[in-house]
């Protein structure tokens, strides 16, 4: 075979073997260079970065406080003192106190429970607390908390009320960050004789949770 033919055959072999190799490289390159245009030269993926200064994240706060005179007391304990004396069957009494928001987020307030007990012993144990009915409602000003504000129908001990009202964040321009609550108590007209001369004491637990939109 002449050198010319040998060289021609060698070139053909190189071309035949070279085609699939070039095709494979091109297939891979399409995946990595997609979106780049131009002719010739070496391509590189462009990239850029930017630094965003960190901000400050502050969590909201939520709390309530109570007072009996309409002013913040900066305490979570409230003593209503002696609400009534010489209460007889069928008598009704009322007392008011104020709830204030001291948080930065709206909150829904509920009466979790009232826990009551009297000083009766033996067969008289629970006679008075079992005969007392209660109702807790909101009123516009304290002066409107009267025995006519609500009709007590639920037993005092264990009385609860869910989602009574929503307080706005502290300092709300419309004054919606406080509420006057009116507690109305009634001694059943069928109170047992064993309830005579007894005294009942009770505690109210008020819960607040962040209000949902």
pLDDT in tens, 77-86: 556 778 888 8
Is residue 140 situated within a structural domain? yes
161 and 74, same domain (yes or no)? yes
98 and 193, same domain (yes or no)? yes
pTM, rounded to two decimals? 0.69
Is residue 90 situated within a structural domain? yes
21 and 100, same domain (yes or no)? no
Q: How many domains is the chain built from? A: 2
Is residue 19 situated within a structural domain? yes
162 and 93, same domain (yes or no)? yes
Is residue 118 situated within a structural domain? yes
30 and 98, same domain (yes or no)? no
Q: Quick one: what percent of the chain has pLDDT higher than 90?
A: 28
pLDDT computed for residue 146 by the predictor = 96
Q: What is the mean pLDDT of residues 40-48?
A: 53
Any residues with CB less than 8 A from the CB of 9 and at least 6 apart, and which? 1
Q: In whole angstroms, give the CA distance from residue 134 to residue 44.
A: 79
Q: Can you give the residue range of the structural domain that contains 28?
A: 1-35
State how beta strands 64-67 and 200-210 pair: unpaired
pLDDT in tens, 6-18: 555 554 444 443 3
156 and 112, same domain (yes or no)? yes
Is residue 41 situated within a structural domain? no
13 and 83, same domain (yes or no)? no
73 and 165, same domain (yes or no)? yes
In whole angstroms, how far apart are CA 125 and each of 118, 167, 198? Answer: 7, 39, 9
6 and 82, same domain (yes or no)? no
Q: In whole angstroms, give the CA distance from residue 137 to residue 165.
A: 10
Q: Which residue has the tokens 């006057």?
A: 180
Identify the residue with better confidence: 19 or 72. 72
Is residue 46 situated within a structural domain? no
Q: In whole angstroms, give the CA distance from residue 197 to residue 194.
A: 8
Is residue 51 situated within a structural domain? no
Confidence of residue 212 (pLDDT cuts 50, 70, 90): confident
Q: In whole angstroms, give the CA distance from residue 63 to residue 112.
A: 15
70 and 152, same domain (yes or no)? yes
Pick from 94, 68, 87, 162: nearest CA to 129? 87
26 and 84, same domain (yes or no)? no
68 and 16, same domain (yes or no)? no
How many helices and strands in the chain, by DSSP H and E? Answer: 2, 8
Confidence of residue 27 (pLDDT cuts 50, 70, 90): very low
């Amino acid at each position: 075979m002449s050198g010319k033919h040998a060289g021609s055959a060698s070139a053909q072999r190189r071309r035949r073997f070279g085609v699939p190799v070039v095709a494979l490289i091109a297939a891979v390159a399409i995946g990595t260079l997609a979106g780049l245009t131009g002719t010739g030269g070496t391509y590189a993926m462009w990239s850029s970065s930017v630094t965003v200064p960190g901000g400050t994240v502050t969590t909201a706060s939520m709390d309530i406080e109570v007072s009996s005179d309409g002013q913040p007391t900066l305490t979570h304990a409230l003593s209503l003192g002696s609400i009534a004396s010489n209460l007889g069957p069928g008598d009704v009494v009322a007392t008011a106190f104020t709830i204030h928001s001291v948080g930065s987020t709206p909150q829904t307030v509920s009466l979790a429970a009232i826990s009551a007990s009297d000083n009766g012993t033996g067969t008289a144990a629970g006679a008075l607390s079992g005969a007392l009915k209660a109702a807790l409602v909101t009123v516009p000003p304290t002066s409107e908390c009267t025995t006519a504000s609500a009709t007590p129908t639920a037993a005092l001990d264990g009385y609860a009320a869910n989602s009574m009202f929503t307080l706005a964040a502290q300092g709300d321009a419309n004054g919606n960050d406080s509420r006057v609550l009116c507690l109305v108590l009634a001694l059943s007209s069928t109170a047992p004789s064993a309830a005579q001369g007894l005294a009942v004491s009770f505690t109210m637990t008020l819960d607040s949770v962040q209000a949902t939109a």
